[in-house]
Structure 1
Amino acid sequence: MTAVFSHGRLRLYLLKLLDDGPKHGYELIRLLEERFLGLYAPSAGTIYPRLQRLEAEGLVTHTAAGGRKVYEITEAAAPNCGSAPTSCRRWRATSAPP
């Protein structure tokens, strides 16, 4: 089975989705599933470790809200997506649904 995302691509997806506003993990899963027209839905075992890694790198932070962790992008993440429109355009161009 081939990987759905090339190296680092899921990271960009998550940062871009969080750049649009705070979200909880299952919301991110749902948005990715919609993006891929239901053909791919990452598992919680894929998303949450990535979110933890992004948090350890200082790119996202979370708060508890209604029993869920709500993640949001930090200022440190701006060079990865927010203030790097070229990276985001490249991401959008290569992330079209199958």
Structure 2
Amino acid sequence: MRTISHAHSLVISAVTETGRAVYETIAMLTRAALRRQVRISNSIIDLNPYQMRDLNADLEGESMRLNPAFRAYEQERALYEAKQKALLFTLGMSGR
């Protein structure tokens, strides 16, 4: 009985995760479409090649921003750039 209960909870968890992923994908598509002022009622077939390229770029950017590893990379890069600016400022102040 415990195995069935465990399997049941795994199925519920998988369905919940799938539902969440579908919801996030729809939200991401909607945000990208609104940014590009594409009518949401349009189908993908109705988009011209330039709109499709722009929408794909927006979706790639959106999914990258949601990626925790990419966010950590962006934070690390910002910290590095701040250190570089501070070093250049310090060198400039010391007359080097």
TM-score after normalising by structure 1: 0.24
Higher-RCO chain (CA-CA 8 Å, sequence separation at least 6)? 1
| Higher strand proportion | 1
Larger Rg: 2
| Higher helix proportion | 2
